[in-house]
Chain A
Amino acid sequence: MKNILLILLIAAAGIVSSCKKSLLDQDNPNTLTLEQFWKTEADAQKGVNAIYHMFYQPGGWSRWMYFRLDLTSDEGFSKSPWIELADWTRFQYVNYNFFEGNQNTYRDTYKAIFRCNQVLTYVPDIPFADQNKKAQILAEAKFMRGLYYYYAALLWENFPIVTTLQSPTDMPEQSSLAQVWAQVEKDLSEAAAALPPQWTGNDIGRPTKGAAFALLGKTYMQQRKWSDAKTAFDYLVTGAGMSFYDLVAYQDNFRAENENNKESVFEIQFSDANKTTEGDGPSSSMGSNRAQFFAPRSIGWSDGQARNWMVAEFKKEKTVDDKIDPRLRYTLFYPGLEADFGDKIYGRSWQWDADEAWFRKYSRDYMRNNEDYFNQINNRMIRFADVLLMYAEALNELGQTADAYQYVNRVRQRVNMAPLATAYPAIGNNKDLFRERLKMERVLELCGESVRWADLKRWGELDTEAGITKVALRDPDFNNFVLDKSIRLPLPQIEVENNTKLTQNPHY
């Protein structure tokens, strides 16, 4: 017995004394440390890939972004019994920290920017065999950073710009809207210079030169820099990139088949490969929740639906062969859908109120009778039809109305609508009439594609009480709209309180 004890004692003492240093130096056996990463081309590639993963997170484009853009605009609204969620689509912002309405999107925006900034900070020091490859990776990160700042400018306007890696104690300064736009322009211009015109193979879906120019053009449009916008769009419409873009069958823009087609300028690549929770865990979801949240009552959460004034707008003008505008069929679920086109809604006949409508784009009712959190249909964030209409708008604003017609016609022609001049001869070269018609053309073409909020802002519809009243006729939620306040979201209160350099947006 004593011997055993002695052996134990010696063994114990031996273990402890000999291994003291190494025992306390335990490396994480689960993953790479920061110091081990950002060394190789493969690291750079993975780093840039991780940015796109932010599209799959709920604060952004897998869920809440559609509430901010589609439901807040006069195209959509919410009848959700979750009152606070609905309040955040009708300018009733009470608790500025409301996670689903504000903080989640704000946070995910910065998460994405953090990923971009990591690539832009670390990748320049990584040796690459192919310098072009390196430039493309950096350009992808710049494109994505520009994209996230673009939407931050739309939502919060005075959004603090962060372009460097932050330590826990860093407090960025407040930025003005003009500063944010300038950052977007810089990032997108630099991205456009280095991105390839087309990707091949398994890289298809990454931003192209055309995507960067299109988003840059949209950035100028929001600032009403019409000439700069036209110049940016030139690449896609009349310039070196024009051969890459065309219009396809309308419904092909909203379905899982024919993704990344010629009309796609930039798409979010969704997939149902991982049917798990979203976030940064293993095998996290890469699907979109939009349809689950927007599908009609008793099919999805139905937290968001379409205003049905659009149904009447679609029906105001028939196609050249006297049929209902086919875009209505693929845009909305509405009471007359089955009668007009023979389509059921997720296998059901209309069972909702007669004055209701629901967004159909990106829904899967064409292939199944329910929805879930793993919708695989790519979101066509920028498609060529949008670019054409913007291009027409820029030309009109620049006084080149006559020249603008052809681009609107191209969009109309695809769905068998008569040329604009034929259908609306009164417009002629009247810039204002043209602009008014273009506003409706954009609704008919792009309804439910998250561009309407930017359009309303760009057109100044919400800059006057009269304008607001007019919008409120279509969407009574705008009766809550307060001039110069509701045009932008409040910054999350917690951020204002914890960053002493920040002031809350005006009137909040």
Chain B
Amino acid sequence: MNKKLLQRRDTGFRLKLIGNIKDRMLSFLLMLFLFTCAGSAKAQEKITGTVKDAGGPMVGVGVQLKGTGVSTLTDGDGRFSITLPAGQKGVLVFSFIGYTTKEVPVSGTQPLQVTLVESSSDLSEVVVVGYGTQRKQDLTGAISVVKATDVKKRQATTVAESLQGLATGIRVRGGGQAGSEAQIQIRGLKNFSGTNPLYVIDGLVTTANRDFNPADIESIQILKDASAAAIYGSRAANGVIIITTKRGAEGPTKIDVSAKTTLQTIPRYDLAKTEEFSRLNFMAYDNAGATRQNLDLSVNTDWQDEAFRVGQVQDYSMSFSGGSKDATYFISAGYFGNKGAVISTDFDRINFRVNTKSTKGIFTIGENLAISNAKTDEMSGNPIIDVVRMLPTIPVYNSANPGGYGYGDEGRARTFGSNPVAIADLDDRTNENLRIRGNLFSELQFLPSLKYRISLGYETSRDHFTYLRKEGNWTLNQAYDPAIFNENRGESSTALIENTLSFTETFGKHNINVLAGQSYQRDNYAQIWGRKRNILANPAGGYYEVLDQGNEPQTGGFKNRTDLISYFGRFEYNYADKYLVNGVIRTDGVSRFGKDHKFGVFPSISGAWRISQEEFFKTSWINDLKLRANYGTLGSSNIGPYDYIAFINTFPTIVMGPGQAVQPGSTQVQLANPDLRWEEVTQQNYGFDATVLDNKLTISAEYFISKTKDVLLRYPLLTSTGNDGGNPYVNGATLGNRGFEFTATYQENSNPFKYSVTGNLTTLRNKVIDLGYGKNRTFVGNTVTEVGRPIGMWYVLQTDGLFQNAAEVANYKNAAGKVIQPTAQPGDIRFKDNNGDGAITNADKVIAGNPWADYELGLNFNASYKDFTFSMDWFASFGSLVFNGPRSVTDMFSDNTNYRAGIQPWTPENPNTDVPRAFYGSTINSRGDTDRWLENGSFARMKYIGISYNLPDDLMKKIGFRNAQVTLSGQNLITITKYSGLDPEFSNNSIFEKGYDFGAFPNLRMVSVGLQFGF
């Protein structure tokens, strides 16, 4: 980056501030005072010197005598001269935007030689914006930059998981399970077809799934608004996450090694033991007038002990990097092994990466190549629910059952819960992916201002899934199955060719940057599968897991292809670093739409005004202030490759005739909308960035309004259409999102105790503006999505306490005097008869709350003192109402499950409770469509806490190391919430029921020890 561009003429006025963090307001007043008295200082002693950075002399650096108004600037050669009042020995403060402020005591030695170091997160930082870079100060769109160090410090399988709380406007949920991938959502639900943003890794459009090693990351930029993401036009509607991997730097070979080991524990339910369980179970049976079951009271199984264990992660990586002036290289290898916190779950990944780049004259060529192999031993069943549904009176093993495992029994333990130990053994799934991801790029710098770049990208993965179903049962009354083996191999590939031409020129105060490009991408996927039954058992144990064995073969396979052709251009204009204008246009053509709808055009325009550059802007405590505004359109075609075509299902077969001969059938099963077209998001974004208080406090705020029209959604069709196989996509709804994002970072680096604090706040309101097919609302499960409200509002019956006695039942009447719940008994739930018809029906359901958080907060604290560094991240979410699915199981009593320890169902002796009477065999008190299961989903969680010790430099030198660090850290150790489920930070795949905890795999508590060193 050309340092000249950083020059400022108005540096002087902001040097007057004294860095006392404890008393900002006082400082402000003091500063005003200093302004007035500066002129009265008398010249007595002259100090001279030069200021430079790694690249040479620096122009315009502010030099100030600490605690006074005495100041000056460096000249064109980096020289300065300052006159001190008589007798003053003081300290000189050197400051320059983008650089760490330095204090130098005035000593006898002259001239002073001062070297400034660039500060890490500052305006001069280069931000990758897609097909190019911009300085942070020139940005006109909403882009969050996440530092690799912040991502790396957490123990995460995928990148998304480690981003939570580090940037505004993003919502991350999930992870935890060995090999699982987190969900990430940028600026709210803009559509119904998925929320995954577009990932661009080293220019290659891809996914940062579990195959990707987060240790290779150099930087992450999150493009949130239309102007920022528009260069990726199509598919950018959900935002773009740009990941740049590490490259070598000029210098001798550097070797970096890191090793981390982590212990994981899973949160647990507090469930009844046999004594409490049997007492409650008998109560539920007695209340229902049913004969008690013959529970085996001699057994007391803790199913959580059986299904859960302490998980372990081993994460090792090593890299070699270096290079000469003309060529650099970066080579890394990594291993990540996770023994899951649930039995029989594992994840193993190995990674290799080679990034190189060489330059000769006007010609540059480089490549990024990553190879990874990831293997997961997948979880079978859902142990999160199974540990609740299995009774403590059931033994883990029972030799009388096929397969030898204990499970429900009609007379002794009537439950259809699955034995998690049995299912882990008998139902075995593995998933392995070999992925090769790379690109080759070449640049020709025809002229200093004109550069051509071609990039060829290729990514392929070989996926291998196996499923072995061993003979044996895991649940009561299970259908007989022999040993079955299923093997499934898939192959995906993405090929990408991109040509870009960029032109950069400065005409006086006018800076122009123009980019034009073209891109072609082809995605292929193909899969074959085979299945056999009666797999041969191996006398030595297990089975011969090959498809040669067994009988009754079945096979299948399919393939898909999508093509995308794009043309794009960007125009950046910068006048005197004050006025910034940015225009982007991209047109995309995709094979997923019918012939009249393939192309979409996505323009955006944005501008920024660095008001602090203006002459009239003389507010000395503001170092930099930029106002931004933009407007743009993005597209989405997040549907299947052939969804616009109605096709014939040729699979139905029938048998006819004496020999039951199999005959083919063909029919249309799924309807299709041939006129599918691009979904379009238009966004407005208004924001400002400010750097104040001597560059110590940076503030960023954004307000955005987005509107998605022609949303591609699978709108629930009427059953009477006869459609099946999923509702067909339609460009149906219009959705709106509005949000406010605020980030503030305060950093203090001038004392030995250095620290920074970042707080961020995100609010988001989504609203359905229009629904498809002219409908006003649609119902899914316990939710309603209707025009004018957020997606998926809870729509349930309202409970109104419990009936305490027969008189209350008899007196609970509607206006016409009709007894509303005539069959209710004391201890039963009283429901609100909202329509006043004297009966509790579906018509009494009302909108009972919002599953979306009102606001989310992130707080990151980093500090260092001498050789210690400390870091802590908090994340909090407030105001959501969520459905506790597991509690609707433990508290129902209508079916046999284990119960919450300490639950107090209503009894005549114990009427002061909110739990209705226990009643087996009827859902009167346990129906799932009531507000009984809705809970406050607010929480605050310490996502990360860590302390590191850097081994002292002198020791390093002795042993020949460049650096070495030991880190002790913890994740998810503290959670503050009223939510009674395992984890308020749950995720599910439902669009309309986002607030429903279906028994989601919880986030794990983790404690890690890490060692990092380089030489």
**Measuring CB to CB, which residues of chain A are less than 8 angstroms from any residue of chain B?**
1-2, 5, 8-9, 12-13, 15-16, 20, 23-37, 43, 46-53, 56, 81-84, 86-87, 92, 94-96, 103, 106-107, 110-115, 117-118, 160, 162, 166-172, 201-206, 259-260, 269-271, 273-276, 280-284, 286, 292, 297-302, 370-373, 376, 492-495, 497-499, 508
| Chain B residues within an 8 Å CB radius of A37 | 648, 666, 668
**What are the interface flags for B716-736 relative to A under an 8 Å C-beta threshold, 1 for contact and 0 otherwise?**
111111111100101000000
CB distance from B593 to the nearest CB of A (A): 9
8 contacting pairs across A/B (C-beta < 8 A): A5-B442, A34-B647, A34-B668, A36-B648, A110-B720, A168-B730, A282-B554, A284-B653
Report the nearest A residue to B922, measured CB to CB: A83
**Measuring CB to CB, which residues of chain B are less than 8 angstroms from any residue of chain A?**
363, 365, 409-410, 414-416, 442, 444, 454, 456, 476-477, 479-481, 497, 499, 518, 520, 522, 531, 533, 552, 554, 556, 558-563, 565, 589-591, 595, 598, 641-642, 645-669, 671-673, 715-725, 728, 730, 773-775, 777-779, 841-842, 894-896, 921-923, 927-929
A5 to B565, CA, bound (A): 21
A162 to B642, CA, bound (A): 28
Could you tell me if A498 and B561 are in contact, using CB atoms closer than 8 angstroms? no
Q: Contact check: which of B476, B479, B671, B673 meets A298 at CB < 8 Å?
A: B476
| Chain B residues within an 8 Å CB radius of A115 | 667, 722
Could you tell me if B722 and A297 are in contact, using CB atoms closer than 8 angstroms? no
Could you tell me if A203 and B656 are in contact, using CB atoms closer than 8 angstroms? yes
Could you tell me if B660 and A271 are in contact, using CB atoms closer than 8 angstroms? yes
A51 to B671, CA, bound (A): 16
Beyond contacts A203-B657, A205-B657: 13 other A-B pairs, Cβ-Cβ < 8 A, are: A1-B365, A24-B598, A30-B560, A34-B648, A83-B922, A83-B923, A111-B724, A115-B722, A202-B661, A282-B554, A283-B554, A373-B479, A492-B719
Could you tell me if B653 and A53 are in contact, using CB atoms closer than 8 angstroms? yes
Report the nearest A residue to B533, measured CB to CB: A275
A10 to B91, CA, bound (A): 63
Contacts A83-B923, A113-B722, A493-B842 given; does A30 touch B558 at CB 8 Å: yes
Could you tell me if B645 and A28 are in contact, using CB atoms closer than 8 angstroms? yes
Could you tell me if A205 and B668 are in contact, using CB atoms closer than 8 angstroms? no
A495 to B717, CA, bound (A): 9
A259 to B929, CA, bound (A): 46
| Chain B residues within an 8 Å CB radius of A111 | 669, 722-724
Query: Could you count the A-B residue pairs with CB atoms below 8 Å apart for me: how many are there?
Result: 291
Could you tell me if B721 and A168 are in contact, using CB atoms closer than 8 angstroms? yes
Q: Contact check: which of B645, B654, B661, B672 meets A52 at CB < 8 Å?
A: B654
| Chain A residues within an 8 Å CB radius of B454 | 5, 8-9, 12
Q: Contact check: which of B595, B656, B929 meets A202 at CB < 8 Å?
A: B656
| Chain B residues within an 8 Å CB radius of A204 | 656-658
A92 to B840, CA, bound (A): 13
| Chain A residues within an 8 Å CB radius of B652 | 49-50, 53, 280, 284
| Chain B residues within an 8 Å CB radius of A284 | 651-653
Could you tell me if B722 and A114 are in contact, using CB atoms closer than 8 angstroms? yes
A263 to B993, CA, bound (A): 51
Could you tell me if B650 and A31 are in contact, using CB atoms closer than 8 angstroms? yes
CB distance from A263 to the nearest CB of B (A): 15
A173 to B730, CA, bound (A): 23
CB distance from B19 to the nearest CB of A (A): 53
| Chain B residues within an 8 Å CB radius of A15 | 497, 520
Contacts A8-B454, A16-B565, A87-B923 given; does A494 touch B716 at CB 8 Å: yes
| Chain B residues within an 8 Å CB radius of A202 | 656-657, 659, 661, 663
Contacts A81-B414, A372-B479 given; does A24 touch B589 at CB 8 Å: yes
Q: Contact check: which of B414, B554, B660, B671 meets A269 at CB < 8 Å?
A: B660
Could you tell me if A269 and B665 are in contact, using CB atoms closer than 8 angstroms? no
| Chain A residues within an 8 Å CB radius of B841 | 508
Could you tell me if A201 and B927 are in contact, using CB atoms closer than 8 angstroms? no
| Chain B residues within an 8 Å CB radius of A508 | 841
Could you tell me if A372 and B481 are in contact, using CB atoms closer than 8 angstroms? yes
Q: Contact check: which of A43, A52, A171, A495 meets B666 at CB < 8 Å?
A: A43
| Chain A residues within an 8 Å CB radius of B562 | 26
| Chain B residues within an 8 Å CB radius of A35 | 646
Could you tell me if A117 and B365 are in contact, using CB atoms closer than 8 angstroms? no
Q: Contact check: which of A23, A47, A95, A275 meets B927 at CB < 8 Å?
A: A95
Could you tell me if B554 and A274 are in contact, using CB atoms closer than 8 angstroms? yes
CB distance from B776 to the nearest CB of A (A): 9
A356 to B443, CA, bound (A): 83
Report the nearest A residue to B657, measured CB to CB: A202
Contacts A24-B565, A203-B656, A298-B477 given; does A498 touch B779 at CB 8 Å: yes
| Chain A residues within an 8 Å CB radius of B722 | 110-115, 117, 162, 166
